[in-house]
Amino acid sequence: MYPGPLAAGFCRRYYRAKMSREDAGAGKIAGARFRAPLLWLLLCSLPLPASTGTGGKSAPASLRQVADGVYVRPGQTGLLFEADNVANTGVVIGSRCVALIDTGGSLAEGEALDAAVRRLSDLPVCFVINTHVHPDHILGNKAFRRDGVRFIGHEKLPRALAVSGDTWLRRTGESTDPSHIVFPEQTVSGQVELDLGNRILLARAHSSAHTDHDLSVLDLQTGTLFAGDLVFLEHLPVLAGSINGWLDELDQLTSKRLERVVPGHGPAAAEWPAAAEPTVDYLRDLREKARTWIAAGGDLGAAQGGIRPSRPKRWQLIEQYHKRNVAAAFAELEWEE
Amino acid sequence: MSTRTARAIERAVRVASLSLMLMVPVFITGVAQATTAEEDMVWTGGLRNAYFEDRKILADDLITLEAPQRAENAAIVPISIKAGIPQTEQRYIRTIWLFVDKNPGPLVGTFRFTPESGRADLGLRLRVDAYSPVRAIAETNDGELHMSRQFVKASGGCSAPPSSDADAARKNFGKMKFLLRNEGGAENATAVEQRTLAQLMIRHPNRSGLQMDQVTHLYAPPDFVEQVKVRFEGKEIFSAETSFAISENPSFRFYFAPQYEGELTAEVTDTEGRHFSETYRVRPGTDGAAASD
């Protein structure tokens, strides 16, 4: 077996590890350490002969069936710029074609998803629905840029991609080529129906919550909600939109009767509305503590150390994301009347 | 930026790279020393002289700079500077310069205080572009310089995309808000002790000019707050000249010591020449908040 793909993987990890060392947000470097950076740099600069040709396609991702015609590639809880397959990705099969909800965090993850879908069904992929801009959900898009595939996102997704797409590409080490970013061809404000043949998906645009452009997808046939990052389990929720808005959106969503939810992070599927409780609880707790801190005149720097989550055992990656969340909550709540 | 400042910085960088070569023996003599010397390369190599020439700078506890050793978000690094002396007519801190040595423009801002400030503490949030020392230099009214420094691990803060909700940001552009908190102690507290903590917040993208737009492939033009003046009953208590290194939605925390009821006024000017102002009626010994519409 030609070692090209292996070397490519190492090089990618090398650059990621290197970047994360320079990265403010990353706590410690997970995975391999590289003791001779110069050597790696040299090796990684060499062209990889033909390995990305026919053998370049990734092995199929493993999909888990969560309902009739509904599959999930489960993500693993890990850090954005270090782990692979961080986010949950959904597949829904109609009688005419297949829809994907998010595509993974790299071209390779998108290709692996594509291969897995081909094994599952002869039907073509007709929709790629992006829940939001974050790289672990969207950078696999490029694997599906072909005739017959329509990319769908929130009406504010193009702006978010324009503003931060380039940063994400560089920080993931995925590519320096901006054409790697795939913009939606159809944007959603309010709600749209997507017909897969005897199967309707409802894509719904939310107000500012996890981000300012979250899109959720509901499979009417099985009552499965793909919540994107409106719902986190295990992986600490990450606040990049509005804490008040997020709680409002979850308040509305939890009043709906659904069979199950596919969270953006955590298990492939979970019960609804019970699965929303940890996210709601974390956000409420953070909001209450931040408000108290602001009212007492405390500053942000001290609050980042002083505000801790009440139920830490529920969550992974607290050290990596909680302080950022405190800052985001602070920046929003200090403007409250 | 004036050409004079640009030239000074250019010179600083050139001298800095030269001094790196000269510092090689230091690396051999002691690792700990070498680390600090390496960290301070930009400062010792020219930045210091560009701003303070051969003036003596004391490294004591007249001021203390607090910053996270590793920043959670390089575009919003909370910094606080605490003064070791109260502001009195006899002795007070009149200026604090804040630098991030390795930012594209190291001077974050120049902050001026008066005896009416009560205490020359300062809190703000800034962008840090590369692992760098952050340093505050305070000048007292008798012309002494005092420094406090902390190394901060953060990178990419100047080019990081704007945070969170873009529509809310646009809708609220230019909005200002004061948060006031009385910290006066006992009933017979002196005027200086009877001070009030003020936080002035401004809704402004404070674009650095180093953030790229993916559609146009152009850098979004710089647009940031460059001047802040706060007066109480017409008397200046705090003012600042600031650079793009101040984070989106600038926030400044400082003290003043109101001894009678009066009007607190903030005036802000940005690089596009926009003016924003906000006035708030203050009664000594009370808390409060005020926001513009």
Rounded CA separation B293/B290 (Å): 10
Q: How far is CA A55 from the centre of its chain?
A: 27
Report the pLDDT value the prediction gives residue A174, as an integer from 0 to 100. Answer: 78
Kindly tell me if the per-residue pLDDT of A206 is higher than 90.
yes
CB of B187 within 8 Å of a chain A CB? The answer is no
Total-model pTM: 0.79
- Taking an 8 Å cut-off on Cβ atoms, the answer to whether B123 and A301 are in contact is yes
Q: Which of B252, B249, B257 is nearest to B240 (CA)?
A: B252
Q: Which of B107, B130, B93, B114 is nearest to B52 (CA)?
A: B107
Cα torsion through A9, A15, A20, A22, rounded to 10: 170
Q: Pick the more confident residue, B68 or B97.
A: B97
For an interface test with B, which of A154, A155, A163, A236 has the most B Cβ atoms less than 10 Å from its Cβ?
A: A163
Residue B29, pLDDT > 90, answer: no
- Segment A26-40, tens digit of pLDDT: 333 333 333 444 444
H/E/C letters for each residue in A288-302? HHHHHHHHCCCCHHH
> How far apart (Å, rounded) are the C-alpha atoms in residues B45 and A79?
38
Nearest-angstrom CA–CA distance, A135 and B109: 34
Q: Collect all residues with Cβ–Cβ distance below 8 Å to A112 and sequence separation of at least 6.
A: A58, A59, A60, A61, A104
Query: What sections of chain B are H helices per DSSP?
Result: 3-22, 24-29, 31-39, 41-42, 48-52, 166-171
Q: Which of residues 79-108 of B touch A (CB under 8 A)?
A: 79-80
Q: How far is B167 from chain A (nearest CA, A)?
A: 8
Nearest CA in chain B to A329: B164
Q: Give me chain B's average pLDDT, please.
A: 84
Rounded alpha-carbon distances, angstroms, from residue A112 to A14, A84, B117 = 22, 12, 62
| Range in A35-49, A185-199, A289-303 the model is least confident about | A35-49
**Window from A61-70, A284-293, B18-27 with minimum mean pLDDT:** B18-27
**pLDDT tens digits along B90-136:** 999 999 999 999 999 999 999 999 998 889 999 999 999 999 999 99
User: What is the per-residue pLDDT for A136?
Assistant: 94
> Which of A21-30, A163-172, B171-180 shows the highest mean pLDDT?
B171-180
Q: Is B204 on the interface with A (CB under 8 A)?
A: no
Q: What percent of chain A has pLDDT over 90?
A: 66
ipTM above 0.95, yes or no: no
How far does Cα A189 stand from its chain's mean position?
A: 20
The per-residue pLDDT for range A219-267, each reduced to its tens digit, is 999 999 999 999 999 999 999 999 999 999 999 999 999 999 999 999 9
For residue A51, what pLDDT is reported? 33
Facing A323 at nearest CB: one of B66, B72, B199: B72
Q: What is the pLDDT of residue B164?
A: 58
